[in-house]
Chain A
Amino acid sequence: MTTPAAFLTEEMRQQAIGQKSEPRTIDVEKGAIVKFAQAIEDDNPVFNDDMAARDSRYGGLIAPPTFLRSVGVDRPSYPFDLPFTRLLDGGSDWEYFHPVRAGDRITAISEITDINERTGRMGLMIITTIVVTYRNQFDQVAATQTSTSIRY
């Protein structure tokens, strides 16, 4: 086995870290929440039934914890070409600060906070840590999502 030539230099790492996406804003619609809850097969009334949710302490529908995925925030672009076409999602670490309610307007921005290369059983891989910050219409951070993306 020969060691593949290292791709990522320290200079490239520093160029990539801090790269941000354009902000993306969506209005959280009741129907989108219910559709998401149905897709993950979670029948909790606070995600599915507006009338029942009105009697909960939220006073209306709220979104399931991973609903914010559906905001569809762009990934930050890399300031160089990556010689890989394949992409795997390594995992996610969410922190929650405010519930996401039907009717909220959520703005998301993603940012590269770390990037490294590693050689695994699939060959050379670039592992990027991306933090997405989701803010609501009151400029409160509703949640942050730290995810690991693997390109190989």
Chain B
Amino acid sequence: MAEQVYWDDVQDGAELPPVVKNPTTQQLVKYAGASGDYYQIHYDKDFAMNNDLENVILHGALKNAFLGHLMTKWMGDQGDLKRLACQYRGMDIPGTPVTAKGVVTRKYQEQGANLVDCEIWLENEKGEKTTPGSATVALPLR
């Protein structure tokens, strides 16, 4: 298991360890099955093209899950995810890697909780932020 991150040690502007994903069409099918989202634009290329898309595209919710992975991995077993938000601005297609990244924007204590806000996003190979978002975690003290 990863080493626990403590609130005391977090600094504004610190980067979260990135999480690299290599989604494939097979992963989209697995995600469709696991989530119950069978909208055909995620696995049927003809259907996608009839919807003015060039290819099947990643489920927004799968990208949301990748950002969840970024946060739960960073906060460790003793951390609590309080909020996870993202917007699907750009489409991502299977066969190209996406990287979940984040940076600490605010560290504060509120109602007994030791909180950290982060700006988070998914970035494609061109460095475009297709899925910007934000998250808040509660971390333990040393």
A contacts, CB < 8 Å to B: 32, 35-36, 38-42, 44-46, 56-57, 64-66, 69-70, 72, 86-96, 148
A residues less than 8 Å from B86 (CB atoms): 91-92
B residues less than 8 Å from A65 (CB atoms): 65, 68, 71-72, 81, 84
Separation of A125 and B67 alpha carbons in the complex (Å): 27
- Besides A41-B69, A70-B35, A96-B83, 6 new A-B residue pairs in contact (Cβ under 8 A), listed by A number: A39-B34, A44-B73, A56-B77, A90-B60, A94-B85, A96-B80
Interface residues of B in 39-80 (CB under 8 A from A): 39, 51, 59-62, 64-66, 68-69, 71-73, 77-78, 80
Separation of A39 and B59 alpha carbons in the complex (Å): 12
Q: Are B85 and A92 in contact (CB under 8 A)?
A: yes
Q: Are A46 and B36 in contact (CB under 8 A)?
A: no
Interface size range of chain B in the complex: 35 or more
B contacts, CB < 8 Å to A: 1, 21, 27, 30-31, 33-37, 39, 51, 59-62, 64-66, 68-69, 71-73, 77-78, 80-88, 133
B residues less than 8 Å from A42 (CB atoms): 65, 68-69, 72-73
A residues less than 8 Å from B64 (CB atoms): 66, 92
Separation of A57 and B79 alpha carbons in the complex (Å): 11
Separation of A56 and B51 alpha carbons in the complex (Å): 45
Separation of A36 and B66 alpha carbons in the complex (Å): 12
Q: Are A39 and B30 in contact (CB under 8 A)?
A: yes
Which 3 residue pairs are nearest across A and B when measured between Cβ atoms?
A91-B87, A39-B34, A93-B85
Q: Are B31 and A39 in contact (CB under 8 A)?
A: yes
Separation of A66 and B69 alpha carbons in the complex (Å): 10
Separation of A76 and B17 alpha carbons in the complex (Å): 38
Q: Are B34 and A70 in contact (CB under 8 A)?
A: yes
Q: Are B65 and A96 in contact (CB under 8 A)?
A: no
Whole-angstrom distance between the Cβ of B116 and the nearest chain A Cβ: 15
Residue on A with the closest CB to B89? Answer: A91
Separation of A45 and B59 alpha carbons in the complex (Å): 24
Q: Are A39 and B35 in contact (CB under 8 A)?
A: yes
From B33, B51, B65, A66 is in contact (CB under 8 Å) with B65
- A57-B78, A94-B85 known; A40+B73 contact, CB < 8 A: no
- A44-B73, A91-B88 known; A39+B27 contact, CB < 8 A: yes
